[in-house]
Amino acid sequence: MSIRTSTSRKVFLAVNAALLTLVSLICIAPFINLLAVSFSDKTAVAAGEVTFLPVGFTTVSYEFITNSSKFLDSLIVSLKRTVIGVPLNLLLIVLTAYPLSKSRKDFRARPYFSWFFVITILFNAGLIPTYMVVKSTGLINSIWSLLLPGALPVFSMLVVMNYMRSLPKELLEASYIDGANHLQTLLRIVLPVSAPTIATVTLFAFVDHWNSWFDGMIYMNRIENYPLQTYLQTVVVNPEEFIRNNTDLSGNLSKYLSLVSARTTGAAQMFLAMIPILCLYPFLQKYFTTGLVMGSVKE
Amino acid sequence: MQPKLLRSDRFVREFPLYLMILPAVLLVAIYSYGSMGGVIIAFQKFIPAKGLFGHQQWVGVQNFHTLFSMPNIGPVIRNTVVIALGKMIAGIIVPVAFALLLNEIRSRLAKRVFQTLVYLPHFLSWVILSGILINLLSPSEGFVNILLSKIGIQPIFFLGNAHAFPATMVVSDVWKTFGFGSVIYLAALAGINPALYEAAVIDGANRWKQTLHVTLPGLASIIVLMTVLGFANILNGGFDQIYNMYSPVVYSTGDILDTFVFRLGIEQAQYSLSTAAGLFKSGVSLIFIVASYYLADKFTGYKVF
Amino acid sequence: MIQTKMKAGKALPHVLIGLVTILSLSACESGSNSNASDPGSDNSTNVSATSSDMPADPLGKYVKPITMSWAVQTAAASKLLDGETYDNNRWSQLISDKLGINLKVAFSADSSTDAYNNKLNAVIASGDLPDVFKTQDANVFLQLAQNGQLADLTEVFDKYATDDLKAYKERFADAFAGATINGKLYAIPRMNDNFHEAPFLWIRDDWLKNTNSQPPKTIDELVALAEKFATGDPDGNGINGDTYGLALNKDLIRPGHGTILGLAAAFGVPGYDESMFYRDQDGKMTFSWIQPGMKDALAVLADMYKKGLINKEFTAKNESALVEDITSGKIGMAFGSNWGTWYPYNNVYKKDGVIVRPYPIPTQEGIDYKVGIESNAVGQMTMVSKDFDHPEAAIKILNLYDQTVNHSTKEDYEKYWANEQYRLSPVYIDEPGEVYAADIQKALQAGSPDSLPPGAKPVYDYIVGFKDGSLKNDDNAFGDWGQMSEEGSLPIVLNKYMPDNAVVQSVLGIQRPEVWLTNESSLDTLTITAFTDIITGAKPVDYFDTYVKQWLKAGGQQTLDELDKLYPAK
């Protein structure tokens, strides 16, 4: 496309670039501000002096947090949850998507199973019934309450199933003719070629587990068992509480009382909670995009 | 070319498939279908001590009568629909506009940088985002109001003023989602046949005309699709977002069905009423979901399942 | 058991009968096994609970230790010291050593937000209650009692309570009556007087001094002082107007710090919380927040708000968030409850060494001020689950608590009560010192603690210690001083509010009309929203009349009618 750029076009391009820059800044500025606040002196923060650079640079908020058992406890719960939860999600997604990707000829019960799973997307039982089922299976206050009820993410499973269905038939038939059974075919043939989709749903599962907070709040009976986001929610709702709970009279934390505020420690905690997402961000951007496009605009 | 299978042969061949699917079936049966059975308490005067399977008093639809005679149920439904519709409409216009503008950028690097920056909020939880927003929107210390006061505008209580609250929810939701929402439109833009543009240029169309007559028609079907699918969420006001930012002061415009169900069930221990409200939401949503999926198929030939 | 199965199995195929037999056999076997391996638990039940002819020992130790699960209310107040945990701390050790009761935490949640309440309701929904747990919510208590989920404590209290506790029962008869439904005691109520719940005006010493002001006696003086605080430089940092006049929090009418309760009181509105019902002078059942005086109070607040004398963003601040502004020194004046020197003004004292002091609420000329307090029948209830085999254990712990805190050495008192450590006991007697406020006044005047009951003596020592400087930096000393010394909050009630006949008590006990239970939360919201809108100027002051009409229509009038029958005039 070779169009000679007219003056009006040039003006448009300049304005457009400026506009997009502004929009991008609006998206990113709050996080830069958060980072700046977490490294700033509390009086500067309270006076509203901190914008995008720390004022009175200090790491005292981070020191305070790393001395707080509550933050560390919840971080460990979240790590545990992610480390067990993501592979569990993947296992069930693959084990379910593969049979459902078969034609009706190869797996007669397929349509019934498909509906069995799809109905769970269409109809939600609601808060109290779900709680009572989790309770009656004995999972309350156990990390499994965060893992088992959502162990099969149905949407992700459908994405993988659709992908597997689009694989060339010849590929699988060749494998069966070689005498491979279903499991061997799945492991040796289907999984390797499905790698991009698997990567996508892995990231879905990771972001889901890392960002969930409501289940932790409802199912966990002890604050020590809260996952990170649930714990952060309590900090957001009641910022002052964190400071008070961590500065008991005898503890050495009381010396921080005059140095940190709910704003600075809150910012530091939120920033720390963002780090895993930021680390995976390049992958998230790449595979989420392919996954989203694949899942939504399939032909 | 396959020989006809005997019943037993067939079973032997299919048996591993059943085994594979079994764990997921069991978990879904317990946690999804088990709780669907639990909605029965919406029709009972549920007393927890007797247990889910105990002998509970059957009251029919009385809980629904009580529910719909509550003074705030009307506003709650209205708020839900208003906020959800607002998010839906803005959630289409803004990403489409952004995709169109981004599409005009020729530098691949610049494009990439813009995308990287605007996608970020999408991946963060509402817990973190609301923590950030509460600080940013604070009337006296918040950055936004400090900016406003510099240009001579009185501070606005975005989260504490019933008039401003729904708009704040819609705008902050758009802020979180528009960048990532534009992905799908960018993909559709990339899929438009370049020959169409060339033909338009030969017809003497400028960029604006090209956008009007080539680009937008090229996006039309995906826009229709996203609109139709959006109706499936007509009763989803966004619990995570609103729960973490609302307060009693803005209940009149900010309380949605999900927060209402939560408060009824967990804060006020009205288990049957709460389940009835949840069931109402699920039932109406089901109709909208099925209808929207049907329309999506009819208008654009897109099958969700 | 096998026999009945066999009979039932007659019609079943042989295979099934065999299966059933095997299953029931193994079930019986495992049942008897567990009995054999665990004889102690049954024995101790027999000894201490079921054998009625043996005298019960109020502080007897279980031969075979029992386990009791309880719900922990975490909050600012329940600090853990010396590396203790909720599972293992001074109280859990004491209770285990002295009584043979092993405490187990069923759940823990923050009681300064909705978290504890929410968690408890979720647990109630699941039908699996902790053995011992607390609630402030009269509705929850009533519901549980009526559903038969609570242990009847009538007998075990009579049998196990020490004479001291029985004396408390007489002294706080109203509270015990509130915990009694159909003649059965279903909870250990808060044993305390409610008089201290009245509102006070708290002002920073240094701000008064810096602005050369006197504590306000009238509402006009209050507004004038707020103006000085808001527009001048009371904190002396060289900047005018970076401080607030009068601080509010968004809950407005819920007891705590930053309420409008004190201001409403000046206009003859005895408000306490969202559910304050009482009989007016004519004996008519009425509701605090619809009194005509409230309109005038709101007009004053709206005017102050317009002039910028109230913190602009109070609608976004709960009490906890307000505390940050208090600690950081932006707030110098707020209405608040009696415990201000315990929290939040202890933070100010610790940080800046500045005392924030309670004063009687300012009054309005020509109007008899009224302060509202809760009914004695409501308040924190400590309940025992019906499924707990040892309800007497709760009474034993209460005995141990009373003995340890109220009749023991100063060391024990400091270890087990001070720094809010008493909250680590699953059952406790609420803030024992306050009960003795009047006694302590006399002792302070006499200059000798000799006449005081044992439980009040440590309080006396703290106050004297704070005054003579020996306990200047002790949190407990500052707390007690601001609450119970001559300069504290409680004497204001004893020496002013009560003699002025200003105290009005809510009639609303545990029994509540259905219409109120259903509509309570929407009516609460209506009230708080209307008041907030009027104060911030979103609605004109005349909107108050609309609010009153709405409130009456949306179930308020019906509630008043039902309450009139439920709580007949004496």
How much is the pLDDT for B165?
A: 94
Verify that A102 and A173 share a domain, yes or no.
Answer: yes
Name the residue in chain A with its Cα closest to that of B22: A96
Verify that A14 and A36 share a domain, yes or no.
Answer: yes
Range of the domain at A18: 1-58
Q: How far is CA C394 from CA A225, C330, C399, in A?
A: 27, 45, 9
The Cα–Cα gap between C195 and C376 comes to: 9
How many CB atoms are located within 10 Å of the residue C197 CB?
Answer: 21
User: If contacts are CB pairs under 8 Å, which of residues 190-219 in chain A contact chain B?
Assistant: 207, 210-214, 218
Task: Name the percent of chain B lying above pLDDT 70.
Answer: 96
How much is the pLDDT for C429?
A: 84
Residue C439 sits at the chain A interface (C-beta within 8 Å): no
How much is the pLDDT for B87?
A: 95
On whether the CB atoms of residues C489 and C356 are closer than 8 A, the answer is no
Sign of CA dihedral B85, B122, B251, B153: negative
Verify that B139 and B279 share a domain, yes or no.
Answer: yes
Verify that B142 and B283 share a domain, yes or no.
Answer: yes
- Min distance A98 CA to chain B CA atoms (Å): 8
Verify that A75 and A166 share a domain, yes or no.
Answer: yes
Cβ <8 Å between A48 and B262: no
Band of pLDDT at residue C31, cut at 50, 70 and 90: very low
Sign of CA dihedral A133, A137, A143, A146: negative
Verify that A71 and A28 share a domain, yes or no.
Answer: no
Residue B53 sits at the chain C interface (C-beta within 8 Å): no
Strands B57-58, C66-74: pairing kind: unpaired
Cβ <8 Å between A285 and B34: no
What total of structural domains would you count in chain B?
2
Range from A89-93, B43-47, C73-77, C153-157 carrying the lowest mean pLDDT: C73-77
pLDDT at A38 > cutoff 70 = yes
Residue C250 sits at the chain A interface (C-beta within 8 Å): no
A→C interface, C-beta within 8 Å: 46, 128, 131-132, 135-136, 140-141, 217-218, 221-223, 234, 237-241, 244-245, 248-250, 257-258, 261-262
What total of structural domains would you count in chain A?
2
Verify that A221 and A73 share a domain, yes or no.
Answer: yes
How much is the pLDDT for A256?
A: 65
Verify that B140 and B48 share a domain, yes or no.
Answer: no
Nearest to B52 among A9, A98, A136 (CB): A136
Verify that A124 and A266 share a domain, yes or no.
Answer: yes
The residues pairing with C334 across neighbouring beta strands, listed in sequence order, are C202
Verify that A120 and A230 share a domain, yes or no.
Answer: yes
Verify that B47 and B79 share a domain, yes or no.
Answer: no
Name the residue in chain C with its Cα closest to that of B75: C522
On whether the CB atoms of residues C272 and C372 are closer than 8 A, the answer is yes
User: If contacts are CB pairs under 8 Å, which of residues 325-354 in chain C contact chain A?
Assistant: 328, 350-351
Band of pLDDT at residue C20, cut at 50, 70 and 90: very low
Task: Using alpha carbons, select from C138, C197, C92, C79 the residue that is nearest to residue C516.
Answer: C138
Verify that A54 and A196 share a domain, yes or no.
Answer: no
pLDDT at C93 > cutoff 50 = yes
- Grouping H, G, I as helix, E, B as strand and the rest as coil, residue C5 is helix
Verify that B84 and B182 share a domain, yes or no.
Answer: yes
How much is the pLDDT for A2?
A: 46
C344: preceding bond cis by omega (within 30 degrees): yes
**pLDDT, tens digit, 9 for 90 and up, residues C33-70:** 333 333 334 344 434 444 444 557 888 889 999 999 99
How much is the pLDDT for B180?
A: 86
Average pLDDT rounded to a whole number, residues B167-192: 90
**pLDDT, tens digit, 9 for 90 and up, residues B11-23:** 777 888 999 999 9
Q: How far is CA C59 from CA A150, B195, C165, C365, C392, in A?
A: 49, 93, 13, 56, 10
How much is the pLDDT for A242?
A: 65
- Min distance C304 CA to chain B CA atoms (Å): 17
Q: Residue B126 belongs to a domain with what CATH number? A: 1.10.3720.10
Cβ <8 Å between B281 and A126: yes
Q: For chain B, how far is it from start to end, CA to CA, in angstroms?
A: 30
Spell out which residues of chain A touch residue C113, defining contact as CB-CB under 8 Å.
234, 237-238, 241
Verify that B79 and B46 share a domain, yes or no.
Answer: no
Residue A48 sits at the chain B interface (C-beta within 8 Å): yes
- Min distance C115 CA to chain A CA atoms (Å): 9
How much is the pLDDT for B14?
A: 84
Name the residue in chain A with its Cα closest to that of C348: A258
Verify that B177 and B284 share a domain, yes or no.
Answer: yes
Task: Name the percent of chain C lying above pLDDT 90.
Answer: 51
Spell out which residues of chain C touch residue A241, defining contact as CB-CB under 8 Å.
75-76, 110, 112-113, 320
Verify that B22 and B111 share a domain, yes or no.
Answer: no
Cβ <8 Å between A239 and C320: yes
> HSE-up of C16 (CA within 13 Å, CB side)?
9
Verify that A218 and A116 share a domain, yes or no.
Answer: yes
**pLDDT, tens digit, 9 for 90 and up, residues A176-219:** 888 888 888 898 889 998 888 898 899 889 999 999 999 999 99
- Which of the listed residues A40, A58, A76 is the one where a domain comes to its end? A58
Neighbours of chain A (3+ CB pairs under 8 A): B, C
Domain-located, residue B2: no
Nearest to C351 among A131, A140, A258 (CB): A258
Spell out which residues of chain C touch residue A262, defining contact as CB-CB under 8 Å.
324
Q: How far is CA C3 from CA C18, C21, C261, C349, C562, in A?
A: 13, 9, 70, 75, 56
Verify that B78 and B48 share a domain, yes or no.
Answer: no
**pLDDT, tens digit, 9 for 90 and up, residues C443-455:** 999 999 988 887 7
**pLDDT, tens digit, 9 for 90 and up, residues C403-423:** 898 887 888 888 898 878 888
Verify that B244 and B174 share a domain, yes or no.
Answer: yes
Average pLDDT rounded to a whole number, residues A57-64: 87
Domain-located, residue B1: no
The Cα–Cα gap between B204 and C433 comes to: 91
Nearest to B282 among A19, A126, A284 (CB): A126
Class of domain C61-192+377-424: alpha beta
Cβ <8 Å between B159 and C316: yes
pLDDT at B279 > cutoff 90 = yes
- Min distance A249 CA to chain B CA atoms (Å): 28
Verify that A64 and A172 share a domain, yes or no.
Answer: yes
**pLDDT, tens digit, 9 for 90 and up, residues A231-288:** 998 887 766 666 665 554 344 545 666 677 778 888 999 999 999 998 888 887 777 7
How much is the pLDDT for C250?
A: 87
Spell out which residues of chain A touch residue B290, defining contact as CB-CB under 8 Å.
122
How much is the pLDDT for B167?
A: 95
Residue B178 sits at the chain C interface (C-beta within 8 Å): no
On whether the CB atoms of residues C478 and C340 are closer than 8 A, the answer is no
Spell out which residues of chain C touch residue A223, defining contact as CB-CB under 8 Å.
74, 108-110
Provide CATH 3.40.190.10 ranges for chain C.
61-192+377-424, 196-373+504-566
Average pLDDT rounded to a whole number, residues B40-49: 86
**pLDDT, tens digit, 9 for 90 and up, residues C160-171:** 999 989 988 998
Cβ <8 Å between B138 and C121: no
Domain-located, residue B66: no
Average pLDDT rounded to a whole number, residues C256-271: 94
Verify that B98 and B230 share a domain, yes or no.
Answer: yes
Q: In C61-162, where does DSSP find H-type helix?
A: 90-99, 115-126, 138-146, 154-160
- Min distance B51 CA to chain C CA atoms (Å): 6
Cβ <8 Å between C554 and B265: no
Nearest to A261 among C109, C324, C475 (CB): C324
Task: Using alpha carbons, select from C544, C196, C502 the residue that is nearest to residue C369.
Answer: C502
How many CB atoms are located within 10 Å of the residue B230 CB?
Answer: 18
Verify that B45 and B106 share a domain, yes or no.
Answer: no
C279 — phi, psi (to 5°)? -95, 130
Neighbours of chain C (3+ CB pairs under 8 A): A, B
Domain C196-373+504-566 CATH assignment equals 3.40.190.10: yes
- Which of the listed residues B37, B60, B83 is the one where a domain comes to its end? B60
Most confident of A26-30, A89-93, A119-123, C172-176: A89-93
Verify that A70 and A2 share a domain, yes or no.
Answer: no
Band of pLDDT at residue C336, cut at 50, 70 and 90: very high
Range of the domain at B26: 7-60
Residue A99 sits at the chain B interface (C-beta within 8 Å): yes
Verify that A226 and A146 share a domain, yes or no.
Answer: yes
**pLDDT, tens digit, 9 for 90 and up, residues A136-165:** 898 999 999 999 999 999 989 988 998 888
The Cα–Cα gap between C552 and C560 comes to: 9
**pLDDT, tens digit, 9 for 90 and up, residues C359-382:** 999 999 999 999 999 888 888 899
